[in-house]
Structure 1
């Protein structure tokens, strides 16, 4: 598999080789790509440089945490003067450990729009469907032999979850080549897919609820409010409730869809789109994300109604 060599490939290698202490961060409420890219990079560095101190940073939460190793308690002195690598995190407020500020030097590796230059160096590919794909490309450049199976699995989880099983518009031939490279490690795809995709009965029932209680606008906007009593009914955390925003993706008339999940009297809004750019709407309300997948947080009910009107205007 031929992978072009961006200028930063060599720079990342040099930074890793020059630092004996490395901390790897990602965003809070981690999804598969945040976890996958983080644990793949941590594991790869430990595998190739066993004498280095390498730590995965952040809280252990999210619905996919069972697919990744437990996090260690990292002391302040272990973070101090380390090389900090921050993955899959568009802006500084979303970094899941403020101690990145104590790092001697910081690198940002991401595929979100580059709106916050919070690190000393930033390696951004906004066309990449996932940060895990970027990390996998760098690992191939470093050593094209098949990865250890567990590292390949971490990256594959990240790619699959951020691309919705390779179905989003940014997926291209390069993405599938990278996936093929990961499969050379020999892991059981079907078994791993079950671990990622099988759901508990309460989540299954919750998705049924969303599909039967959503509002479907005639121009293609689909949305559903999820108040606290519904979250309690299905025994969900706010984060779990938000994660099912793609419950509406298969509806043929859906062009843009959103979940508005109540928390502490305010609403967290997750927005997805088939092919209409919507991140500018999220940004208007202090949020952001990708062109077709974004979010806004802690909005009043009145703000959510305004946001829905703005989404309708995108479709007109």
Structure 2
């Protein structure tokens, strides 16, 4: 599969890389990390990254301005996106050839080439393996690409604390650490919070509830307005109360326009099936969904409680 992807990269002069909307470090790390790897291997090619900017992760890099005509005879690669509904910038179908690279369960196998492997901790780790297997074809890591891919792995493994962290994850990460990027600066940028986020964090700690073994937090549109925080910015706080003794799972509800964003996390019980029942999906212990009423959120909480039993 990796060899097939490298053949296609050889064939095309323009390569446009997408990822999912409301990006996290793995979405941006794999997208921009792959772009950097290709640019360094083929400096003559036009390699573009597309999608909305995420201010809290702007230290990783910026998106390109991609025009409609750029897609003509272009290779399009979508990273870290399980289904087409979540792809940021719907022009991803306008290229000449489409490749999906992802580590989520393959619920929607779109694309001409589908490289999906949930055994990897992150899509960024997959890109490291792409470079390892492409060494004979001239692919290599640099301090720039290593930083981006490291960010993605750190993000999706919770700084190597989650159960998706394997011996192979550490081996591949060691190749990144051998490059000379500033880890201290990276962590400082990753964990810094605006004053408004810190104040909202205090509010969350005061108002979350524990129902049996499940932690529950509901942020309304009024709450977000009060603290001048966007729905996307609030995602930084999903694990705020995760260390409370006795919790087996927790859920973060955030009202966003005409829907409610649902962020599900678990310390053991499988919860991505619950997400799939509510317009979402994800990993067994980290998933996202969408609810369309506060009554529906109560149904999700009930399902979480049942899963934890």
TM range (shorter): over 0.9
Instruction: Provide the secondary structure at the position in 2 that maps to 1:247.
Output: coil
Kept after mapping to 1: 8 A contact 2:278/2:291? no
Kept after mapping to 1: 8 A contact 2:258/2:292? no
Q: Which runs of 4+ in 1 moved over 6 A?
A: none
Name 2:263's counterpart in structure 1: 270
Instruction: Provide the secondary structure at the position in 1 that maps to 2:239.
Output: helix
Instruction: Provide the secondary structure at the position in 2 that maps to 1:243.
Output: helix
Q: 1:193 to 1:242 in 2, by over 3 A?
A: closer
Instruction: State whether structure 2 residue 288 is matched by structure 1 residue 289.
Output: no
Instruction: Provide the secondary structure at the position in 2 that maps to 1:115.
Output: coil
In 1: Cα distance, 2:55 partner to 2:132 partner: 28
- Residues 243-272 of structure 1: CA deviation (Å, up to 9, x unaligned): 311112211211110111112253111100
Cα RMSD for the two superposed structures:
1.4
In 1: Cα distance, 2:290 partner to 2:235 partner: 11
In 1: Cα distance, 2:64 partner to 2:239 partner: 32
In 2: Cα distance, 1:179 partner to 1:213 partner: 38
79, 86, 110: which one pairs with 1:94? 86
Instruction: Provide the secondary structure at the position in 1 that maps to 2:99.
Output: strand
In 2: Cα distance, 1:201 partner to 1:60 partner: 21
The count of residues paired between Structure 1 and Structure 2 equals 307
Shift of 1:208: 1.8
200, 215, 224: which one pairs with 1:222? 215
In 2: Cα distance, 1:298 partner to 1:279 partner: 15
Name 2:206's counterpart in structure 1: 212
TM-score in terms of structure 1 length: 0.94
229, 242, 247: which one pairs with 2:240? 247
In 2: Cα distance, 1:94 partner to 1:244 partner: 21
Instruction: Provide the secondary structure at the position in 2 that maps to 1:241.
Output: helix
Give unpaired runs (5+ residues) of structure 2.
Answer: none
Shift of 1:233: 2.1
Name 1:106's counterpart in structure 2: 98
58, 77, 80: which one pairs with 2:72? 80
In 2: Cα distance, 1:146 partner to 1:190 partner: 23
Q: How does 1:44-193 map to 2 (within 5 A)?
A: 44-61=37-54, 63-64=56-57, 66-143=58-135, 147-193=141-187
Name 1:38's counterpart in structure 2: 31
Kept after mapping to 1: 8 A contact 2:124/2:149? yes
Give unpaired runs (5+ residues) of structure 1.
Answer: 1-7
